[in-house]
Structure 1
Amino acid sequence: MTITNEDELEGVKAIGRIVANTLRDMAAALEPGMTTAELDRIGRLQLEREGAVSAPESAYGFPGATCISVNEEIAHGIPGARVIAPGDLVNIDVSASKDGYFADTGASFIVPPSDPLRERLCRDGRRALRIGIAEVGAGRPLAGVGRAIGRFAARRGYTLIRNLASHGVGRALHEYPEEIATWPDRAERRRITRGLVFTIEPFLSTGGHMARGGADGWTLYGMPSAPVVQYEHTVVATGRGATVVTLPG
């Protein structure tokens, strides 16, 4: 989506706040002993209270209101009977729509007790997201996002999952530009246009390079298997940089 007026911007900001608040509340409730279905229900109720609709459920028939991925699961995990345990690495991805506007956000969390290596991975995952966002601006090369994240990842000794990309969002969950690499891509020649709405969501890993599908048709796993974190915001490109719309408030 490309924002063309203030009403559209306010619509995207409104659903951005809703998904951000939902993610915040789910993260606050995350604790050992609960199932991923119980965590998902917290997200569902929050979306319903705000008059929002789960995007993966409504657009793709996903069997849950949110995606919750634990440890070896790196994305699109189905909420269910899995019990969250101490030390688990949990990714929560929340996307929804309201009044015809969509937004998408996500983050990874360690259930205490933690360990220094995973804490470093999470901290650097958040840094990779900020580095990608800093490359956003009207007229700037879209490839700059992946180049900057790639330099950071290489310098810190990480790999990036190279078949899970950022994407356009706003009037649908996935729209133009359909795939935005968060890794260096020499073939990318597009430029960021003013008002463009899209996600920044690097998947930073200690050794994984690709995502592969599992038996349930939804859940994705890293290849080779290694810890992976994902942090995601929806942004709007302006002449002064990025406006992040998925902030709680």
Structure 2
Amino acid sequence: MTITNEDDLDSLREIGRIVANTMQAMAKAMEPGMTTRELDGIGRELLEREGAISAPESTYDFPGATCISVNEEIAHGIPGDRVIATGDLVNIDVSASRNGTFADTGATFRLGPVRPSLDRLCRDGKRAMRIGIAQVGHDRPLAGIGNAIGRFASEHGYTLIRNLASHGIGRALHEEPGEIATWPTRGDKRRMHKGLVLTVEPFLSTGGIWATGGADDWTLYSQPPAPVVQYEHTVVATDRGAIVVTLPG
């Protein structure tokens, strides 16, 4: 999607606010002993209250309103009977549409105290996303996002999952310009243009390189096995950098 007027931007900000508020409310509601299905139910209720439609459900017939991935699950976790426990890393990914406009956000949350190395990974995962967002702007290279995140990861001893990418969004959950690497690449000569809507969502890890599928055809796991965190915003490229639209309010 390319934003061409204030009405488009207002619509994007509104669905961005909805998905951000939903994710934050789900995170605040997490408690030991809760199942991921119960947590997803909270998200579904909040989306429906706002007149929003779950994007993974409507686009891909995903079996849940939101994606909830716990510990070894790194993305696209199906809400179900899994019980969340103290010390878990829980990734909540909320994407939805309203009146034909889509937004997508995600974050990894700690449930209670976690090991210092995981605490640091979460903090650095947020930093990696912010570094990627800082590369967004009119006429800047799309590859600059992944190259900057890659430098940060390398300098701090991390790896990046290399087959889960950022993407265009707005009129659909995934749209032009297609996949956008959040790891270093060569040969991608594409450039951003004013008004371009995209996500920035690096998957930072302490050793993982690839996302591989499991038995349920949805949930993804790190290969080689290692902790992974993901943080994601939907942004708009402008002459002055990025506008982040997935902010609570």
CA distance in structure 2 between the aligned counterparts of 1:31 and 1:203, rounded to whole angstroms:
24
Instruction: Tell me whether 1:81 sits opposite 2:86 in the alignment.
Output: no
Structure 1: stretches of 5+ with no match in the other structure: none
Q: Which residue of 1 aligns with 2:242?
A: 242
The one-character-per-residue Cα deviations of 1:30-75 (angstroms, maximum 9, x if unpaired) are 1110000000000000000000000000010000000000011000
TM-score by length of 1: 0.99
| 2:162 maps to amino acid | R
Q: Any residues of structure 2 matched to 1:120-139 within 5 Å, and which?
A: 120-139=120-139
Corresponding residue SS for 1:56: helix
Q: Any residues of structure 2 matched to 1:93-132 within 5 Å, and which?
A: 93-132=93-132
CA distance in structure 1 between the aligned counterparts of 2:85 and 2:113, rounded to whole angstroms:
10
Structure 2: stretches of 5+ with no match in the other structure: none
Corresponding residue SS for 1:187: coil
Alpha-carbon shift at residue 246 of structure 1 (Å): 0.1
Q: Which residue of 1 aligns with 2:186?
A: 186
Q: Which residue of 1 aligns with 2:53?
A: 53
CA distance in structure 2 between the aligned counterparts of 1:110 and 1:117, rounded to whole angstroms:
12
Q: Which residue of 2 aligns with 1:163?
A: 163
CA distance in structure 1 between the aligned counterparts of 2:168 and 2:19, rounded to whole angstroms:
16
Alpha-carbon shift at residue 113 of structure 1 (Å): 2.2
TM-score by length of 2: 0.99
Alpha-carbon shift at residue 78 of structure 1 (Å): 0.1
CA distance in structure 1 between the aligned counterparts of 2:226 and 2:112, rounded to whole angstroms:
19
Corresponding residue SS for 1:11: helix
CA distance in structure 2 between the aligned counterparts of 1:154 and 1:31, rounded to whole angstroms:
34
Q: Which residue of 2 aligns with 1:149?
A: 149
Corresponding residue SS for 2:164: coil
Q: Which residue of 1 aligns with 2:230?
A: 230
The one-character-per-residue Cα deviations of 1:90-147 (angstroms, maximum 9, x if unpaired) are 1000000000100000000111121210000000000000000000000111111001
Q: Any residues of structure 2 matched to 1:20-59 within 5 Å, and which?
A: 20-59=20-59
Corresponding residue SS for 1:120: helix
Aligned-residue Cα RMSD (Å) equals: 0.5
CA distance in structure 2 between the aligned counterparts of 1:15 and 1:75, rounded to whole angstroms:
22
Range that drifts further, 195-204 or 2-11: 2-11
Q: Which residue of 2 aligns with 1:72?
A: 72
Total equivalences in the alignment? 249
| 2:179 maps to amino acid | E
Q: Which residue of 2 aligns with 1:208?
A: 208
The one-character-per-residue Cα deviations of 1:186-218 (angstroms, maximum 9, x if unpaired) are 121100010000000000000000000111010
CA distance in structure 1 between the aligned counterparts of 2:3 and 2:222, rounded to whole angstroms:
35
Corresponding residue SS for 1:193: coil
Corresponding residue SS for 1:105: strand
CA distance in structure 2 between the aligned counterparts of 1:208 and 1:5, rounded to whole angstroms:
41
Give the ranges of 4+ consecutive aligned residues of structure 1 lying more than 6 Å apart after TM superposition: none
CA distance in structure 1 between the aligned counterparts of 2:215 and 2:177, rounded to whole angstroms:
29
